[in-house]
Amino acid sequence: MDLSKAIADVQKAAETDKTGSGQSHVELLEAVRRLSLAAETPAETLMRMRFESAAIRLALEGGFLDTIVAADGKVITASEIAKATGYDELLIARIMRLVTWTGICDEAGERQYRAIEETRLVVTPGLAGGEKHHYDLFFPIGANLVDYMKATKFHQFPKKPEQQSPWEATFKMGFFEYFAANEDQRKYFDDYMAVRRKGLSSWHEVFPMASQLVPGFNTSNSDAVLLVDVGGNWGHELQSFQKTYPDAPGRLILQDLPIMTEKFGGKAPSGIEVMTYDFFTPQPVKGARAYYFRNICHDWPDEDCRRFLSNTAKAMTKGYSRLLIDEYVLPNTGAPIRGSSMDFLMMCFCSGIERTRRQWEDLLGACGLEIVKVWGNRTDYEQVIEAKLIE
C-alpha cells in the first residue's frame, strides 16, 4: 500500500472513531496496522513478528514484570530487579529490551523501567494466565507443525482413531485429557477464561433479549421455558441474564454433561434448573423461547455441529423459538486479527473452526435454520447469531 494513502486512511478513521469502541474503532486499528505494514520493509515486518512472545513469557516467568509493577510507578533498575528475582542483571536487560519495544513496559533509561497500564494488566492472574497458556502450549505445537503438515497434509478435522490433530501429535493425548493431567496449565486456562471477555458487553446486551423475546413469551403456560443454556458449564451466562432481568418470565434451564452437573451436588443456582444433557441426543426441552450456545460450535467440525444443532432445531417451535449462537462471525473478506488468530488456534488445539458469515449460513441452512440477524457492533469480537426455523 502507498504510504501517503495509509496515512490518510488513519486520519480519516481517527476522525470517525469518536468513542474508542464499536466498529469504527476496529477500522481505526486496521488502518493503523496497514500504516505500519506500509512503512516497514518486508524484512522488518518478519523480524517484528518473531520473538516478542518469548521475551514476554520469560519476563513473566522470571518475575521481572511483577517486580516492576510492585515499584508502584517508580523507576526500577535491572540491578534492583536482579536482586529481587535472583536472575542475572544482563539477562534481565536483554529480555526487557524486547519487552519494552512491544509497549508492554516503559523503558525509562538505560536498564531502567517503569510500569504502565499494560504492565499492570499483563501481570494480573487472568492475562498472565493467557500469556502462559498460549505460549507454553502453542510453541511446542508450532515447533512440530511443519513436520506434521509434511506427513499428513494437515488434518483440519481428523477422523479418529486413524488421524491425529496437531495437538495430539505433540502432546500424545487429547485437549481435555491434557488439562486433567496438568493442573498448572488448567489453572492458567481457567484464569484466562474468567477474564477473556472482561469489559465487553454481555451476550444479552448485544442481543436485546428483553425487547426481542420476552414480549412474545408464552405466559399462558406456567411451565413455559424462556431460555435454555446448552453446554452452559457453571451457568454464569444464565446468572448474568437473571441478574440483569430479575423479572423476566419463564423457566431458565442449564444443560451440561454429568461431569459438570454433578459438581452442583443437587444445589442449583437460585431460579435456575440444572439438567444433565448430552447435545448429541434429542433435546428434551421442547418449544423454549430461546436456546443459547456459547463457544460450542467452534469446538466441532460441521458434521458434528449439524448433528447437535439439528437436535435443537427439532425441539424448536416454528415462528416462536429462536436459536442464539454466541461466537465469532468472521467477515467473508478482511477478517480482523483477533478472530483470524482464534481460528488458527482452534485448528491447532482442538480441530475446531471459527466460521465466516457464509459458513454459518450454510451450516444453519443444513439444519433447517436461517439467520434472522447477527447482533453486535464489532467484527473483531464474538457476536450473537439469532436464527429461526425456515418458514
List active site positions: 298
Cis peptide before 208 (omega within 30 of 0): no
Q: How many angstroms separate the CA atoms of 215 and 249, rounded?
A: 10
Torsion of CA 241, 242, 245, 246, to 10 degrees: 180
User: What is the pairing mode between strands 106-109 and 112-114?
Assistant: antiparallel
**What single-letter DSSP state applies at residue 297?**
G
Q: How many angstroms separate the CA atoms of 237 and 7, rounded?
A: 42
| Cα 4–chain centre separation | 35
Nearest CA to 232 out of 279, 172, 285, 180 is that of: 279
**Which residues in the chain belong to E strands, given as ranges?**
76-77, 106-109, 112-114, 225-230, 251-256, 273-276, 290-294, 322-327, 369-375, 383-389
**Which residues in 150-288 belong to E strands, given as ranges?**
225-230, 251-256, 273-276
Nearest CA to 328 out of 356, 302, 348 is that of: 356
295: left (phi over 0), alpha (psi -120 to 50) or beta: left
Q: Residue 57 has which C-alpha cell?
A: 513469557
Q: How many angstroms separate the CA atoms of 332 and 356, rounded?
A: 6
Q: Is 169:140 a contact under the CB 8 Å cutoff?
A: no
| Cα 53–chain centre separation | 18
Q: Residue 365 has which C-alpha cell?
A: 441452512
